[in-house]
Structure 1
Amino acid sequence: MSKSILWKCMYMARDLRSGALFDAIKRYCHGDVLDVGGWDFFESIKKRKVGFDSWTVLEVERQDVDLSDDPRVKLVIGDGCNMTFEDDRFDTILNIQVLEHVFEPIRMMEEMTRVLKPGGIMIILLPTTSTMHMAPYHFYNFTRYWSEEAIRHCGLEKVSLTPLGGVWTSMASHLLYFVMQSVRVKGMSSPEIKRGLLFYLLYPFMLLFAALSFPLCLLFGLGDLQEEANNHLVVVRKPSN
């Protein structure tokens, strides 16, 4: 399985607007790192000065991507909800926009907690207002309250819980995704969902509205309300024994 050029561009855009994520990674990332479902996220990491001893990418299947020529980086094929790693194995665990694609996200949280060393750090990026993508493997969005309950459930200590984006940036994102869904970009549309006659009649006006509204939404997003954040950046620590 490989990413299309479109998806690579989408992830580049995510990286550009996720400065807080990379700040957290640079601050907390250390030692032996597990990147759960990271695909080629390491490509974004190696451009930045991030300290680590080893970097393990856990994926459910082999990916058509050249992770790195760095001998410290390796790909492991396995199930993030049933890991084969021993307890207390990693110093840092990353989970970047992965839990929404897992049918049992709390199970993955439990497994990540198990393999994280006491005192280790887990960094999670969770979508809150995401539209459908990577269908049919998009199951959830998560509120900050889910994050707080999951932290308690797993016995972790909250370091920070930061909303990224808000109402207006969510609207801008939805307008962009509307255009891609309307032309049935793979992974963003379901073939079983049919278009009605009114859709085709109104579609030119919808596109005009989206084109005019998108830059305004980005502008208003500079002073956004964060109750409906695009994502939440969660940093937690496993208590020391």
Structure 2
Amino acid sequence: MNLKQIIRKYFFKNKIQTTTVGTLNESSRVNWLEEMLNKIPFGSKILDAGAGEQQFKKFCNHLDYVSQDFAQYKPEDLNSGLQMVKWDYGKLDIISDIASIPVENESFDAIMCTEVFEHIINPIEAIQEFSRILKKDGFLIITAPFCSLTHFAPYHFYSGFNRFFYETELEKNGFNIIEIIPNGNYFEYLAQEINRLPNMATQYSNIELNKTEANNISQLKVLLQNLSDSDTNSSELLCFGYHVLARKK
């Protein structure tokens, strides 16, 4: 069966249905982070590197939580790409460059760095700094996109990171990778961008999709849901991002 036949099969033989395809990027990441943070021993000192609005502090009640960020992002400064409507860092414990954090060597039992690497000019320097300030056997929790649209401009320098980046640079800088898993897959990523299509059409083409076009998008999402449900390993081509758990040697 060729692609055209597959599309016709799902467009015309399946009823339009509600799908979750392409919508679970953030929730999957948050669930994984909560699970990893719960595994860190009670009372451990954790650094939230590039903490932003400190949204994961709520999962660290059993830990000695320390937040760090460079604290320079202001969404009102540049009208380009995807920007937050508002942004509030709150009270940060440390304001510094992520590659030069003013603490002693081996200061932390754990570090988490979530969706930050694409916003750092040299993320390898951040890994080197994490190695310096993390204790032996300390936990390192990282998430970053595999592919991403421009966001948080002007502080968006890379579209994303493949697993091979982590496997190379973490090993080189004194870490053992315990777990590295993809978030989503090729079909989920396509669906995520298709979900954006009505807004993108309006914003960048000044076209509002009509009812038939919106219906076609819904039907296409049914196809992508079925393909994702039958997925074997398309994440090796494309996914939302990787979740990484490592420990300092």
The aligned residue for residue 22 of structure 1 is 34
Q: Does 1:39 align with 2:58?
A: no
The equivalent position to 2:246 in structure 1, one of 229, 236, 241, is 236
Runs of 5+ in structure 1 lacking a partner?
Answer: 1-11, 68-73, 185-194
CA distance in 2, matches of 1:111, 1:180: 40
Q: Where do 4+ consecutive residues of structure 1 move more than 6 Å?
A: none
Corresponding residue of 1:221: 228
Structure 2 counterpart of 1:23, one-letter code: E
- Partner in structure 1 of residue 107 of structure 2: 89
When normalised by structure 1's length, the TM-score is: 0.73
Match of 1:51 among 46, 59, 62: 62
Q: Output one character per residue of 1:206-228: Cα deviation in whole Å (capped at 9) or x when no partner.
A: 65544443454345433433212
Which structure has the bigger radius of gyration?
2
Alignment CA distance shift 1:110-1:29 (3 Å): farther
Contact 2:54 2:89 in 1 (8 A): no
Rounded Cα–Cα distance in structure 1 between residues aligned with 2:223 and 2:173: 41
CA contact (8 A) 1:29 1:50 kept: no
**C-alpha distance in structure 2 between counterparts of 1:232 and 1:29, whole Å:** 24
**3-state SS of the aligned residue for 1:170?**
helix
Q: 2:88 aligns with which of 50, 58, 64?
A: 64
Which letter maps to 1:130?
A: S
Q: Distance in 1 between matches of 2:121 and 2:198?
A: 27
Q: For 1:233, give the aligned amino acid.
A: H
Q: 1:121 to 1:210 in 2, by over 3 A?
A: same
Tell me the C-alpha RMSD between the 2 structures: 2.8
Alignment counterpart, residue 104 of structure 1, candidates 108, 117, 122:
122
In 2, the alpha carbon distance for the partners of 1:218 and 1:20 equals: 22
Of 136-145 and 96-105, the range deviating more from structure 2: 136-145
Q: 1:39 to 1:117 in 2, by over 3 A?
A: same
Is the alpha carbon distance of 1:26 and 1:60 closer, same or farther for their aligned partners in structure 2, counting shifts above 3 Å? same
Q: Residue 188 of structure 1 aligns with which residue?
A: none
1:112-151 alignment, distance < 5 Å: 112-140=130-158, 141-151=160-170
Gaps of 5+ in 2: 1-22, 73-86
Change (3 A) 1:211 1:87: same
Distance 2:196 2:111 in 1: 30
Report the CA distance between 1:111 and its aligned residue: 0.9
Give the direction of change, closer, same or farther, for the CA distance of 1:182–1:75 in structure 2 (3 Å limit). Answer: farther
* In 2, Cα distance between equivalents of 1:60 and 1:13: 29
Assess if the C-alpha contact under 8 Å between 2:201 and 2:207 holds in 1.
no
Greater relative contact order (CA < 8 Å, ≥ 6 in sequence): 2
| Alignment: residue pair count | 206
Pair 1:181–1:108, CA change in 2 (3 A): farther
Q: Which amino acid is the alignment partner of residue 137 of structure 2?
A: G
Partner residue in 2 for 1:5: none
| Contact 2:69–2:94 (Cα < 8 Å) also in 1 | yes
User: In structure 1, how many angstroms separate the alpha carbons of the residues matched to 2:197 and 2:182?
Assistant: 23
CA spacing shift, 1:115–1:215, aligned 2, 3 Å = farther
